[in-house]
Each structure stands twice: as structure tokens, then as C-alpha cells.
Amino acid sequence: MQHSLLNGVAAATAHRDRDELDRAVVALLLQFIEPQAITLLRVVADELVPRIEERVRMSRDGSPAPQQIGMAAWRQYALGGDVVHCEGTGGLLATIFPIQGASGVAGMLVIENATPLPDRTTELVRGVLRIVRNHLALLDYGEQDSLTGLLNRKRFDGHFEKLRQRMSTAQGSDAATLLAGGDPQPQEPSWLALIDIDNFKSINDGFGHLFGDEVLLLISQLMRRSFHGADQLFRFGGEEFIVILEHASEAGALLALERLRTAIAKYPFPQVGSVTVSIGYTRINSQDIPTLCLARADAALYYAKGQGRNNVRNSEELPVGELNADFKCGSVDLF
């Protein structure tokens, strides 16, 4: 059994995609422990308040039933960092294992069974989770910006493709629902915003790169406070940042971006004083590739700079001639 388990752990940690890794780990433990169900959850910082998000749930009988333990219980049981036994769903017993991250509990693994888990099994699960934690730390090292801690360009490409695939799948489901005579549920769009620090070169030249780096770090912190935990934040290089907002109305996207712009404009940056940003954003289409979506956002950003900086512009609202019509449809042939 130990040999097979080690092979299973090796196969699971071969994944570089976090969603695939989550599914592989849950499937592995379900196979070797044979409980009634296993759920993996992640802790998401949503406006500075931790929120629990279910990522994977698998059961022995294939039941998709969601967890019924309330948020207050998750806080009480797992955010403290200890393995906890409590009452689960349907009279089952739940054992909650914290998944440690770089700054505390990053997630939880919940194993539900009719009988308590033996101590030996508990230690086995803890050992597997330690290996997964080390693997995630290596992934973070390669996919996070070393200065700000935001995601880097490498992670952006993978996230954008997964988002595009989800959008295509949702559109396919809507089409099937229409053919069946049903009424598809409306889907709120997703948006890509390109953020650029105004006159950043003058900050580096006038105050030195040390203060320039501090501005980058503080802006990344303001970004985390301004957006929901589900929104993806990237440092794209130099003084440019990217935000991907999923499932947001046009008004909601503009409100969030304006909130960030205002927060930065009002913030008293040490030594430097006032700093502003210009923002261009665009709707993400299911047929988009990153270069085309970025081109539209960049055109809106360029227009924002030309309008005096320190403002937010939508690519779909640019004057005629500011954005090539081919970019708007997201289907231009580059070759």
C-alpha cells in the first residue's frame, strides 16, 4: 500500500495547474482512505474578510451534495490551524485538516466518514498535505512577482486560457438550453483592466529606485484592498498591472476600477507624496487570445493617458479611430 500511495502522491504533485492538483489529491485520498466523502476548500480574502470557497468534492457514491457546515463553524474549527473532529452531514463524522499557506491557513480538507478516522490515517493525511504544501510553495515561487507578491505574467497566460474555456463552455450550455426550449441563465461578463502608474519614470529619477519599489509595493496592497478575492491581480512588468474581474456588470467593473483609482490618488505615499494611475479596460470575449484583449485594454489606457491621466476608460467607448474595429470583435487573423 505504501508503495502505491507514494506513486499516487508523485503523480498528483506532477500537476502544475492548481485545479488539477486539487482534484488529483482528493481522488488519491478517496482511493486509499475510502471515506464517504472528501471536500477541499480554499480560504479566499474577500475585501480583507476570509471567505471559504469549495473547490472539489468527491464521494464514494458519486453524490454531489454540498457541505452543510456553516461559515461560523469553519472559522471556529479550522482557521486556528489544528486538525478538528466535528459533526458532518447526514449523521457522518467530519475531520477537518488545515492546509497551511505562506501566511496562515490557505485551505481545508474535510473527510467525512461513518466512523472516526484512525490516528494512523490522520497522520497519513497530514503527511500528504505537507507534501502538497511544499509543492504549492514551489508553484508560488515561479508564478508570483518577487516584489509585490501579485501573480506574474506566466500565471496570467494560464488563467486567461482557463477563463476563456469556461466562457466557451457556458455559451455551449446556453445554446443547448435554448435548443431544448429552456431559458438560459444570463451570465455577467468578465473584464480585463490594464493599470499604469502615471509618470513613474520621474518617481525613479527624482527619488531613486528604492522609493519607486515602495510605490509598486504599496499600490499592490491597495489593489488587494480594492478588489474581491475572486478577482485576479497581476504585475505585468515595470509599472504595469493587470486585473481580471469575473462575473461583473459593466457598471460594477467601472465602480471597482474607479475605487482603486481614487484610493491610489488619495494615498499619501512616503517621500513621494501624490501618485496617480491611468486605467484602460475591455470586455473579455470567449474567442479572445491574450494579445488581442491586451491590445484593446492598452488602446483604452493610451486614450486615458491622452485625456490628462488619472482616469478610467473602457475600450468599447473610445472615439472612432482610437481602436481598430477588428480588435473589437476579437477575431482578427494575425497571420
The topology (CATH level 3) of 153-329 is Alpha-Beta Plaits (3.30.70)
Sign for the pseudo-dihedral over CA of 306, 307, 308, 309? negative
Cβ atoms of 299 and 327 within 8 Å: the answer is: yes
Helix (H) or strand (E) holding 149: none
The pLDDT of residue 176 = 56
Cβ atoms of 38 and 29 within 8 Å: the answer is: yes
The topology (CATH level 3) of 2-143 is Beta-Lactamase (3.30.450)
User: What's the CA gap between 64 and 32, in Å, rounded?
Assistant: 20
What are the sequence ranges of the domains in the chain?
2-143, 153-329
Reply yes or no on whether 239 is catalytic. Answer: yes
Query: Could you say which residues of the chain have pLDDT below 70?
Result: 1-3, 45-50, 62-81, 88-89, 102-103, 171-186, 229-230, 320-335
Q: How far is CA 167 from CA 17, 113, 293, in A?
A: 18, 36, 15
Q: What is the pLDDT of residues 248-290, one digit of tens each?
A: 899 999 999 999 999 999 999 999 999 999 999 999 998 889 9
Q: How far is CA 308 from CA 241, 264, 277, 278, in A?
A: 19, 16, 11, 9
Q: What is the DSSP letter of 248?
A: -
Kind of pairing, strands 277-283 and 312-314?
Answer: parallel
Copy the grid coordinates of residue 186: 444570463
Q: From the candidates 143, 239, 250, 258, which is the catalytic residue?
A: 239
The pLDDT of residue 324 = 53
The pLDDT of residue 173 = 65
Q: What percent of the chain has pLDDT over 70?
A: 79
Q: What is the DSSP letter of 229?
A: T
- Fold match flag (2-143 vs 153-329): no
The pLDDT of residue 67 = 53
